[in-house]
Amino acid sequence: MNLTKEQLHDIIEGCTKRKRESQEAFFKYFYGKMKAICNRYARDADEAEDVVQEGFIKVFDNLYKYKVTGSIEGWVRRIFVNTAIDHYRKNKNKFNIEDEANVKDEDYQEDNDNESIYTTIKPDDILKAMEELSPAYKTVFNLYAIENYTHNEIAEILNINVGTSKSNYAKAKANLKQILQNRFAIARNFK
126 and 178 fall within a common domain: yes
**Residue type at 119 in one-letter notation:** T
The residue among 51, 66, 90 that closes a domain is 90
Residue 189 is predicted with a pLDDT of 52
Find which of 2-6, 81-85, 87-91 is predicted with most confidence, using mean pLDDT: 81-85
169 and 123 fall within a common domain: yes
Contact 79, 58 (CB under 8 A): yes
The residue among 45, 74, 90 that closes a domain is 90
Give dist(CA 80, CA 54) in Å, integer: 9
CB contact set of 44 (below 8 Å; sequence gap of 6+):
none
Contact 155, 161 (CB under 8 A): yes
76 and 102 fall within a common domain: no
CB contact set of 111 (below 8 Å; sequence gap of 6+):
173
9 and 69 fall within a common domain: yes
Q: pLDDT band at 103, cuts 50/70/90?
A: very low
82 and 108 fall within a common domain: no
Contact 176, 133 (CB under 8 A): yes
More confident residue, 153 or 184: 153
**Residue type at 71 in one-letter notation:** S
For the stretch 125-153, pLDDT in tens is: 888 888 889 888 999 999 999 899 999 99
DSSP string of 28-82?
A: HHHHHHHHHHHHHHSSSHHHHHHHHHHHHHHHHHHGGG--TTS-HHHHHHHHHHH
Domain that holds residue 78: 5-90
| Cα-trace Rg, the chain | 19
Based on the structure, what is the number of domains in the chain? 2
Residue 105 has pLDDT above 90, yes or no: no
Residue 25 is predicted with a pLDDT of 96
184 and 104 fall within a common domain: yes
Residue 92 is predicted with a pLDDT of 72
pTM of the model: 0.71
Task: Tell the burial category of 180 from Cβ atoms under 10 Å away from its Cβ (0-12, 13-18, 19+).
Answer: middle
The residue among 90, 122, 138 that closes a domain is 90
CB contact set of 39 (below 8 Å; sequence gap of 6+):
45, 48, 127, 131
